[in-house]
Amino acid sequence: MGFNWLINPMGLFSSPVISGVNVVKPNMFAYDRQLKSWGISKFQPDGLILGSSRASVGLNPDHPDWQTNEVFNSALSATSTYLIYRYLRHAQATRPLKQVVLGLDFLSFNAELAKTMSLDERLLSVDESGRRNPDFLLSRVFQSLYSWNVLIASVSVLSANRKEVNRKIDPETYSPPLARNGVMQPDSFLSSFWLPIRERAYGTLRQYLNTLWFPEQGFTFSDEQGVESDLLGWYRQTLRYAYDEDIDLRLFISPSHAYLFEAIHASGLWEIWEEWKRLLVAINEEEASRAGREPFPLWDFANYNDYSSVTVPMTAGKGVSMRDFWDVGHYRQEMGDVVLDRVLGDVPPSGFGARINGASIDDHLVSIRESRELYRIEYAEEVAELDAALSNILAGETPQ
- Give residue-wise pLDDT tens across range 219-268: 777 655 554 558 999 999 999 999 999 999 999 999 999 999 999 999 99
Give the chain's domain count: 1
Domain hosting 387: range is: 50-119+176-394
Does residue 247 lie in a domain region? yes
pTM of the model: 0.90
Does residue 199 lie in a domain region? yes
Give all strands (DSSP E) within 192-297, no chain letters: 248-253
43: buried, middle or exposed (CB in 10 Å: 19+, 13-18, 0-12)? middle
Residues near 266 by beta carbon (within 8 Å), at least 6 away in sequence:
387, 390, 391, 394
Residues near 294 by beta carbon (within 8 Å), at least 6 away in sequence:
288
Does residue 33 lie in a domain region? no
Does residue 230 lie in a domain region? yes
Mean pLDDT, residues 135-142: 59
Does residue 388 lie in a domain region? yes
Does residue 324 lie in a domain region? yes
Does residue 180 lie in a domain region? yes
What is the distance between the alpha carbons of residues 31 and 42, in angstroms, rounded to a whole number? 16
Radius of gyration of the chain measured on its C-alpha atoms? 21
Does residue 150 lie in a domain region? no
- 386 or 322, higher pLDDT: 386
Residues near 299 by beta carbon (within 8 Å), at least 6 away in sequence:
250, 251, 252, 253, 339, 342, 343, 353, 354, 355, 356
Tens digit of each residue's pLDDT (9 = 90 or more) over 308-361? 999 998 876 545 567 899 889 999 999 999 999 999 997 776 778 999 999 999
